[in-house]
Amino acid sequence: MSLSMYQASAPVFAHMLGNLSAILGKAEAEVDAGRLDEAALMEARLAPDMFAFPRQVQIASDSAKGVSRLAGREAPSMPDTETTLAQLRDRIARTVEFLNTLTAAEIDGSEDRDIELKMRDRTLNLKGQPYLLNFVTPNFYFHVTAAYAILRSKGVPIGKPDYLGGA
């Protein structure tokens, strides 16, 4: 049995975003208990030239929504205005809600679909499968992992089982 484009995309991203939301919930518990300063967390980054914590979550959300291109659909716009863990969790929930509207019928067979991705300084033209496997998926995991690492570095009691969730 082969793995379909749908199976490799929307449900996978929805699962990992659910894990990320649960991890953010653990960070909220640390804030509520007075062990973590939420404002400081929102400024935290792994290195001076990397994005701060909220941007990591926002880009993970945007990457996941990029699956819409495989379905030939427009993803919902979400301004990058989140300043709290609760707002970031809401964004994740809205992203998962959107992913759950995408169907296998829309995405399967998109391996050769032309995808045009406008970036800040260039435009990428890819076929569907390389877009999913070589761009969207690695980008998504990079930012989920960066968000996880920032929380872990700030003392949130999380580990690999939290990252993987109920894998």
Count the neighbouring beta carbons within 10 Å of the beta carbon of residue 47.
7
Closest CA to 139 of 52, 60, 76: 60
- pLDDT for the residue numbered 64: 98
- pLDDT for the residue numbered 111: 97
Q: Return per-residue pLDDT of the chain as tens, 167 residues.
A: 689 999 999 999 999 999 999 999 999 999 999 999 999 999 999 999 999 999 999 999 999 999 999 999 999 999 999 999 999 999 999 999 999 999 999 999 999 999 998 888 999 999 999 999 999 999 999 999 999 999 999 999 999 999 999 66
Domain 10-164, CATH 1.20.120.450 — does that match? yes
Q: What values do phi and psi take at 138, rounded to 5?
A: -60, -40
Residues 6+ positions from 158 with CB-CB distance below 8 Å:
23, 26, 148, 151, 152
Q: Is the pTM of this model over 0.75?
A: yes
- pLDDT for the residue numbered 167: 60
Residues 6+ positions from 32 with CB-CB distance below 8 Å:
none
d(CA 162, CA 151): 12
Q: What are the residue boundaries of the structural domains of the chain, listed by start?
A: 10-164
